[in-house]
Amino acid sequence: MDTILVTGGNGFIGSTFIEMVFETKKAKNVINIDKLTYCANKKANKQFKNYKLIKEDINNVFDALKGKERSIDYIFHFAAESHVDNSISGPEPFVHSNVNGTFKMVEFAKSFDIPIVVVSTDEVYGSLSYEDPSSVETDILKPSSVYSSTKASADLIALSYYHTFRTNVKVTRCCNNYGFNQFDEKLLPKILTNLKQGKKIPVYGDGKNVREWIDARDHSEAIWMVAEKGQPGEIYNIGTSDERSNIELVRGILELWGAGEDTIKFVEDRKGHDIRYSLNCNKITHELGWIPKHGNVMDYLEEAISQIKTP
């Protein structure tokens, strides 16, 4: 591809994706539209020559990209409010960015006949029990939080553009991402930051909530494969089967750090806290040939802790 448009490219996953695109020469030019909110990495992507940042809300995409529309070969839509706790304390920005913003992006894609991948989350499937089978792409959506509800709404709006207008829309749904340079509000960087500062590690409830984990580089490569090989109007789960309870993860980190369990502080559970997410990824594996390459979350944590402790 010559030129791609990325939304939310200063976020953790979006910037990882842009780095992958340039390092593997998948596209010559990247335009990134990002309004640079509190969690944006403002230093991201500046090392790349053919990179352009447009500081703007995606709801203003038509004005922000006026005159550039015909140069764009593909859209990768990452931009979203994503922190569940924030969606509980202040829901309105999630509707603005995740619902209205996605509507504007697929409308822009339709208007200029540009294919688009809409990046979503496993949380749209809702909570599973410990015994339930992993979620498949055809499962009924049962989002629990404002965050996941806005992402489910975005998915449905995006897919409606394929069914109604034949816009080339594809949706990906991924599990929890990890990697270097993730914003501190997320679980793993928060734990590591607290350990560095000698603080307690807060764990919601009993810590038995289960999440599936993926390296953001694997996620990025999967998204590109969906763009290249996936079918319009289809959904692709992206996961690894690396499922761990929060308390199992925290105890593993403490062991790597050399800290005791007295470092754990159990706190009041999050409102509406889902028990488990798990993705069945047979579709992307069998149809597109994607498999993760970068190990598991404990491999990453061992490396991250080693870097922190090495003078």
Q: Which residues are catalytic?
A: 122-123, 147
Torsion of CA 184, 186, 191, 197, to 10 degrees: 20
Residue among 267, 249, 276 at smallest CA distance from 192: 249
CA distances from 281 to 210, 212, 276, 289 (A): 17, 12, 16, 11
Full DSSP string of 127-149: PPPSSSPPB-TTSPP---SHHHH
Burial of 111-136, coded b for 16+ CB within 10 Å and e otherwise, reads: eeebbbbbbbbbbbbbbbeeeeebbe
Nearest to 206 by CA among 278, 130, 149: 130
Look at residue 66 and give its three-state secondary structure: coil
